[in-house]
Amino acid sequence: MGSLDRTGWVQQSRGVSLVTPAGEVRTPVFVPDATRGVIRGVAPDQLRAVGVEALLVSTAHLAVHPGASVVAKLGGIHDFTAWTGPVVADSGGFQAFSLLGSPGLGQVTDRGFRYRFSPKDKYRQLTPESAIQAQVRMGADIVYCLDLCTSPRATREDQERSVELTERWARQCRRAFDALMADRDPPHPLLFAVVQGGPHADLRARCAETLAEIGFDGYGFGGYPILEGRLVDEVVALPGLVGGAPLHGLGIGSPDSLVTAWSAGYDVFDCVLPTRNGRRGVLYRMSEDPLGRHATIARMDNERWIRERGPIDPTCDCPACSTFSAGYLAHLFAIEDRLAATLGSLHNLRFYVRLLERLRAADRPG
Ligand SMILES: [Zn+2]
C-alpha cells in the first residue's frame, strides 16, 4: 500500500480505498460535479478547505470547450484546473444521451454518438476509443467506458440494445485503454464501466456479469437512479452483482438517497445538487440523526432568516457559518451577490463532506 505504481482499490475494514495516480481516497466519498472543469464560483483551495477530496468532470463538455488537446497542452486536467486531488471523468455518454431527445443535436449509432450542444456547433464523434483517448489525454484519474444510457420509459427492446452496445463498447474501451497504458509508465488511471439494463433485473444482471468478466476497477449504476423521488430497486440490487468492487452511484444524489445507496453497498457518489442548490440559496442543515437522514432544508428566501443573527447551521464549520449570520447570507441572496452563490456552494459541500464522514465512521448494514 502507498505505492502509486499500483493503482486500484483496496478493501478496508469499512468500505474501500481508491488508489489513484493523484492520491488515495477513502470511501464512501462524495465527488462534486465540476462539469466544465470548475465548481462555479469556488476556487480549488476553498474546496480543499471544506474537505472535498475529488472532482468529477464532463468529458463531452471539456472535449468541446476548450478541447481535450487544449487541456493536454495546458498540462492536463490537474494543471489546467489547479486541482491536485483525484479527478473522475465521465465518458461523455450521459451528456450525449441527454442530447438525443433534441432533434439535430444527438444521434446514436453502433459506433458511438454524434453530438453537439447547439445547432451552430460542429458535430463531434464520441466512440469507445475516442472517449478513452480524450479522458486519458486530459489526465483523468478515473476513466469511464462509453455506455448507452436509456430513458426509464424505453421499451424492453431498447434496453436490450443498450445492454448489447454497452457491453460491446466496454470491451472496445478496455482494449483501447490497455493499448494506451502499454506505452505508459505507471501510475495508471483506474478504468470503470457502467451497468445498464433499465428496470429489467435480468438485463442488469447480464450486463453486470459480462462487465465483471471483462474486468474493471469499478462499476457505475447507469440510467435513472431515482424515479418519483425514490431510489429505484435496480440500484439496490446492483451491489450483489459486482462482487465487492467499488461502486459509483452516478448522479446520486440527495442526502437521503445517498445514505440509502451507501447502505446498499455504494462507495462513490456525485451529484450537481449541493452546488446547484447552494447557488440558489437552498441550504442543507444537519439533523440529529446519526446517519444524517432527514437533513432539513433552509431556503434563504424564507422570511424566517432575514433577522437571524446565528449561522444557517450552528453545527457547521464552513466559511459561511463560521463567519456570517444567516440574516446577512439571506441579504446576499436577496441582492443576488456572487458571494452568496460561493458561500451557499461551500456550505452545502461542507454538509456533504460531514455527512460522508458520519457514514465512514458507521458500520454499513449487512
Ligand atoms: Zn455552513
| CA proximity to 85, closest of 34, 40, 146 | 34
At 290 the pLDDT is: 64
CA of 15 to the centre of ligand 1 (A): 27
CA of 36 to the centre of ligand 1 (A): 25
The per-residue pLDDT for range 216-235, each reduced to its tens digit, is 999 999 998 888 888 888 89
Query: Which grid cell sits at 167?
Result: 457491453
CA of 345 to the centre of ligand 1 (A): 9
| CA proximity to 70, closest of 115, 94, 37, 110 | 37
CA of 353 to the centre of ligand 1 (A): 11
Contacts with 78 (C-beta within 8 Å, 6 or more apart), sequence order: 22, 84, 87, 139
Q: What is the pTM of this model?
A: 0.96
The per-residue pLDDT for range 238-297, each reduced to its tens digit, is 988 888 899 999 999 999 999 999 999 999 999 999 999 999 999 999 987 766 567 899
At 127 the pLDDT is: 96
Give first-to-last CA distance, the chain, whole Å: 27
Side by side, the strands of the sheet bearing 8-11 are 8-11, 16-20, 23-26
CA of 359 to the centre of ligand 1 (A): 19
Q: Catalytic positions, please?
A: 90, 270
CB-based contact 10:17 (threshold 8 Å):
yes
CA of 348 to the centre of ligand 1 (A): 7
At 1 the pLDDT is: 41
Average confidence (pLDDT) per 10 residues, the chain, 366 residues? 72 90 97 98 98 96 94 98 98 88 90 93 93 97 97 93 98 98 96 96 96 97 88 88 92 92 95 97 88 83 97 97 98 98 98 94 86
CA distance linking residue 53 with residue 100, whole number of Å: 33
CA distance linking residue 316 with residue 322, whole number of Å: 7
CA of 349 to the centre of ligand 1 (A): 9
